[in-house]
């Protein structure tokens, strides 16, 4: 039995999530370690700036960076999962957006998967829904921080840029990427539950 195209997109998202789960889990561990290191570096640098000025402060700060093997380039490890998601995102756009396979194919209230959904008085619902899921995931992932915490701001900006970039894209792409975000949220939730049960 061949699955309807919409369900096939959701299944494809599930398979991709499961296949990339090990590498994304590894990336999250590296991100957490890097954020902890950044916090320690920041606190020590603040202490140095309060105590020292000028050339002496510069030498002390440099010593803090060497102590933690810290550099601006290595700080990008705090966003490793984002960089790893980029090839998947590009592959999804290349494969699904404006793909003739979806031309004229309906799924639920969506009349044509190859076009934007236009579900709400001609406006597109799926990109907005995807963004809301994405913002909810940001809150889930950084649960200890306030939503507009500095650690979240760049992720919130990225989510809004995704909304602008994907707003006019095909419903097929939006179903896949929204499913991807929902599954990512479920992974975060169950990962958090397991962590609590093990503590």
Domain edges within the chain: 5-31+78-194
pLDDT of residue 193: 43
pLDDT of residue 166: 92
pTM of the model: 0.75
pLDDT of residue 68: 82
Reported as a single tens digit per residue, the pLDDT across 101-149 is 899 899 989 999 999 999 999 999 999 999 999 888 888 776 655 666 6
pLDDT of residue 178: 93
Question: What is the mean pLDDT of each successive set of 10 residues along the chain, which is 199 residues long?
Answer: 74 89 83 82 88 86 84 70 83 87 90 93 94 87 63 82 92 93 82 48
pLDDT of residue 118: 92
pLDDT of residue 151: 65
Query: Which tokens is 70 given?
Result: 């810290």
């Amino acid at each position: 039995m061949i699955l309807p195209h919409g369900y096939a997109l959701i299944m494809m998202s599930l398979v991709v999530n499961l296949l990339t789960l090990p590498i994304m889990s590894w990336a999250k561990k590296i991100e957490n370690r890097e954020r902890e290191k950044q916090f320690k570096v920041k606190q020590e640098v603040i202490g140095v700036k309060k105590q020292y000025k000028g050339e002496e402060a510069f030498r002390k700060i440099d010593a803090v960076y060497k102590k933690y093997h810290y550099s601006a380039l290595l700080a990008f490890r705090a966003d490793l999962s984002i960089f790893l998601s980029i090839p998947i995102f590009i592959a999804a756009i290349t494969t699904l957006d404006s793909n003739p396979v979806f031309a004229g194919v309906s799924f639920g209230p969506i009349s044509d998967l190859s076009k934007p959904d236009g579900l709400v008085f001609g406006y597109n619902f799926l990109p907005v829904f995807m963004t809301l899921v994405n913002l909810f995931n940001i809150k889930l992932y950084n649960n200890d921080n306030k939503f507009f915490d500095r650690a979240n701001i760049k992720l919130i900006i990225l989510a809004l840029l995704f909304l602008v970039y994907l707003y006019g894209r095909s419903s097929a792409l939006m179903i896949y990427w929204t499913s991807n975000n929902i599954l990512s949220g479920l992974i975060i939730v169950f990962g958090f539950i397991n962590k609590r049960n093990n503590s």
